[in-house]
Chain A
Amino acid sequence: MKRVFYLDGQTVPFTSGQNVLEAAIAAGMARQIPYFCYHPALGSLGACRQCAVKIYPHDDKHPPRVTMACLLPASDNLQLATVDKEVHTEHREIIELLMLNHPLDCPVCDEGGQCHLQDMTVQTGHAVRRYSGPKRTYHDQDLGPLVYQEMNRCITCYRCVRFYQDTAQGDDFGVFGSRDRVYFGRLEDGPLESPFSGNLVEVCPTGVFTDKVFRHDYARVWDLQQGPSVCPHCAVGCNTMPGARLGTLRRVRARHHPEINPHFLCDRGRYGFRYVTAAERPVQARLHGARSRQDVVLRQVAMRLQEGRSGFLGSPREDVQSNLALFALADCLHAPFAALSSPWMEALAQQCMALPQAPTLSDVETADHLIVMGDLGGVAPMAELAVRQALRNGAQLTVLASQPTPLAEAGDYRPTRPSALPDLITGLAEDVCLQGSRRPVILAAAETLGPAGVHALRKTLARLPANARAGVFQNSPNLFGAAYFAVDGHTARLQHALRQRQIDHLLCLAADPLGSDWGAGTWRSLVPGLQGATVLDMVDTDTVRAAEAVLPTAAFPERDGFFINYEGRIQAFAQVYRREAPVLHPQENVNSFPAAAGGQMHPLGPPTPQYWLGRLAELLDIVKPWQERLAFYQHFLCPISPHPDSPGVLLDDALRARFEIAAAPAAAPVGTEDWELDLFHWYGGETLADAAAELQSLAPARGLRVSADISAPFATLSGPCGRLRLPVIPIVGMVAGVVALDQEGFAELGLYPGEAVQIQWEVAS
């Protein structure tokens, strides 16, 4: 039977555990009950006293009374009223009290148009201020490049501190003072340290915390073009709502997805979007480093492809269709194709695909026993947030990592060498705690585990009870999508063809084989055989700078497509806006009308990779076979195309099953005396987000992270592909014999996590 209570005579359905306000909001009756401190993710507090309702008890003893809806558990046949003189008085007077000190700066406030306080004030009918005395004022703090504070606007709902301290478990932001002088901020000026600090902007019901990045490129929110998108900065695939104005992207907010990110977004997802507006972003076609007309560049590339000495390289950073389009073109030209830049990554992707269905982040939140391997928060911050919610619910957490990550401090930290992980994982099958848990979940940073580790994880899961789940995370949005084409040995074949001089031209789709992609060291060693590379990309990379031809592509909010996230969930994103690129010089832009005749002032921004590849197919006269192949692949791999607003569809198990036959990868043996490499990843780092200036101003110093008992100031690492001299950053609590390095470093050395490395320590003089 449907459970209901009555609000102003209307039935309101509820489920057990809900409070009255929660049920009323869910039923679309929020207009009758104004509220501030209640937030669906943060719960009820009763701090603001705004959500008053009158309750009519069903007995003769108690008179009707006014109470707070957010603190009143919903129960059957409850009789409540808001159309009541007392309730109205309470609503009106509380809002007047809350507005007492609030500045009248709404016309210049960034929150304008999305201000919960403004909405509630107007809704409640508090239109005229009676108080004319002095207002309480505060000094604002500089909270860094991402969040702007204006404390005078505060109505002390405590949402910010509940999010920051309770949900995100950050410890550098708090609430100070008491009574009418309560202050929400840091101990001193300085950037907020939590990877989730940007959510303050969204949880604050008024303009105390506003988006500082948006502030510097501001548009009124009602003028923003918004649309459903998916975050391209890691494998979690959080749902986002980018907002653009006049052809430029201004901000990104969280979009509700019940199983991935119901409310929040990490700072990489929120502020990483600035790669779209970065000055270095390639927006015009280039030939030999100089801006050139599209058709000239295309003809040159087509000529290259016609020679039949080209290789094709896709990327897990690009969406499914673009990779498919590239694959189809390579297929038509019978050219070697690889979706991933190194055989190691290929094996890793296949092993990831072969894992059984991963838990959703909401499953992770309800886990009772968690094992986390590697720096999960550095790779996929939202996965860390989910783990922290599980911790709040009383879950037990064990962290196997080589360095004391923020998550390790919250759980049981077991210092572990990366090369020991596969054996440890195999041992987990016998783990009594794990066997006895009701909902055990194993989460890992994919690259720290490596192919051997992920393989061991799959074998262990098969031996654990069926309720045990595992998910591995990576920082590219479409590893699963790219894994589709990662047929055994494709990358090795492509590299072999280049080494044997069978090919001398590389067409790269959002790949950076000469820069920081995995395996870049090997590619760099093959450069002598490379007569030129063509790159389709949306950010400035080493490969873009070195390329013969550059075909700039639309950023993700500028087009539609699909990503497949870590669970194998196909999610669609929609084009949010149309980029308007700066006008070319009239001489270069011959197709446009002369400026004097009102010319084309805002030519369209970069087109999609499919457009470029289609044009190339046209020039090569293979449009029909290319389209047929593309349609076939799409039909085979994505028979159902989810709508951008839908929660997405999970990959067919049958499609994934074919990856289970992938051979068990062998990890390179590491001696106990050897120095061993692990991956260091900071929460804001990712190829696209690396171009976001505001976020990157918080990046930690580059260096070699090593146990604190090493006193050398510098170290030189040698790998098969190169040498690297880095400053040494001592880390207390790091495992002895392990050094942590960023992805660029690995690319330079030509090594992978868990492998041994030669290190020369420079003695301090």
Chain B
Amino acid sequence: MSLPTSIADLQDAALIARLQALVAESPVPAAAISAVLYALQDARGYIDDVALHAAARLTGLSPVRVEELCTFYSLVLRAPAGRHVLRICDSIACHLAGAQDLLAQAQAHSGVALGEVSLSGALTVVPHVCIGLCDRAPALLMDGEATGPVDATSLARCLEQWEADPWKPF
């Protein structure tokens, strides 16, 4: 990993302006780190090394500190993801309600291992820690939106629809 020297490496003036605004409105620059990471992930799909160093530079944190946050929070992705990210809760309530079957079904649909990008580029499936929807188990996060309970049919329908979505740039 070569160290990028400037946030200009993001090559997106509008994004940089948005990030700078986020930093400016937080009481101390470091406090903006979560918002900055989300904005970067929204724009680029995942936090790549350029984004990591840009976030560090913008917030005044060291790149190691930013990486600590990225690897601690499961909603921050440090590896390339598909256009749609499906997070299936596999904690105890959802597990009892059949989350393992949903995971297997979604993975079979994607055709690649969990966490990888499907060949069409449309989908990444990851198991996820409890999202607090135990009353609606099995629950998922579809592109960050909580849904539940989900069964095999509704999951299949949703996956079909994602596959049919035209490709759009981030």
Contacts and interface: CB of A to CB of B under 8 A. Distances in A.
Interface of A: 171-178, 183, 186-188
B1 A187 contact: yes
Contact of A174 (B1, B68, B74): B68
Contacts of A175: 68
A186 B63 CA distance: 10
A188 B74 CA distance: 21
Interface string B57-86: 000001111011001101000000000000
Contacts of A171: 62, 64-65
Given A174-B67, A178-B71, 8 more contacts: A171-B62, A172-B62, A172-B64, A175-B68, A177-B71, A183-B71, A187-B1, A187-B67
B72 A178 contact: yes
B64 A177 contact: no
Nearest to B53: A187
A173, A174, A177, most chain B CB atoms within 10 A: A174
Interface residues of B, number: 10
Given A187-B1, A188-B1, A174 B64 contact: yes
Contacts of A173: 64
B72 A177 contact: yes
B1 A176 contact: no
Contact of B68 (A172, A176, A188): A176
A183 B62 CA distance: 17
A177 B70 CA distance: 8
A173 B68 CA distance: 10
Contacts of A174: 62, 64-65, 67-68
16 contacts: A171-B64, A171-B65, A172-B64, A173-B64, A174-B64, A174-B68, A175-B68, A176-B71, A177-B71, A178-B71, A178-B72, A178-B74, A187-B1, A187-B63, A187-B64, A188-B1
Nearest to B74: A178
A186 B62 CA distance: 11
A172 B66 CA distance: 11
Contacts of B74: 178
A172 B67 CA distance: 11
Nearest to B78: A176
Contacts of B68: 174-176
Interface of B: 1, 62-65, 67-68, 71-72, 74
Contacts, number: 28
A55 to B, nearest CB: 32
Contacts of A183: 71
A183 B70 CA distance: 13
A178 B72 CA distance: 5
A176 B78 CA distance: 12
Contacts of A187: 1, 63-64, 67
A176 B63 CA distance: 12
Nearest to A186: B64
Contacts of B62: 171-172, 174
Contacts of A188: 1
Contacts of B67: 174, 176, 187
B57 to A, nearest CB: 13
Nearest to A174: B64
A243 to B, nearest CB: 32
A64 B145 CA distance: 46
Contacts of B64: 171-174, 186-187
Contacts of B63: 187
A172 B64 CA distance: 6
A175 B64 CA distance: 8
B63, B68, B72, B74, most chain A CB atoms within 10 A: B68
Contacts of B1: 187-188
Contacts of B72: 176-178
A42 B63 CA distance: 24
A186 B68 CA distance: 10
A177 B72 CA distance: 5
Contacts of B65: 171, 174
A409 to B, nearest CB: 11
A746 B52 CA distance: 42
A245 to B, nearest CB: 37
A136 B74 CA distance: 19
A386 to B, nearest CB: 23
A172, A176, A187, most chain B CB atoms within 10 A: A187
A327 B64 CA distance: 54
Nearest to B68: A174
A173 B74 CA distance: 21
Contacts of A178: 71-72, 74
Nearest to A190: B1
A176 B67 CA distance: 7
B62 to A, nearest CB: 4
Contacts of A172: 62, 64
A730 to B, nearest CB: 14
B64, B71, B72, B74, most chain A CB atoms within 10 A: B64
A69 to B, nearest CB: 28
B99 to A, nearest CB: 18
A683 to B, nearest CB: 19
A187 B1 CA distance: 9
Nearest to A173: B64
A173 B65 CA distance: 9
Nearest to A183: B71
A188 B53 CA distance: 13
A291 B62 CA distance: 53
A124 to B, nearest CB: 30
Nearest to B62: A171
A213 to B, nearest CB: 24
A194 to B, nearest CB: 12
A174 B62 CA distance: 10
Nearest to B65: A174
Nearest to A175: B68
Nearest to A179: B129
B157 to A, nearest CB: 33
Contacts of A186: 64
A166 to B, nearest CB: 13
A186 B65 CA distance: 10
Nearest to B73: A178
Nearest to B63: A187
A437 B132 CA distance: 52
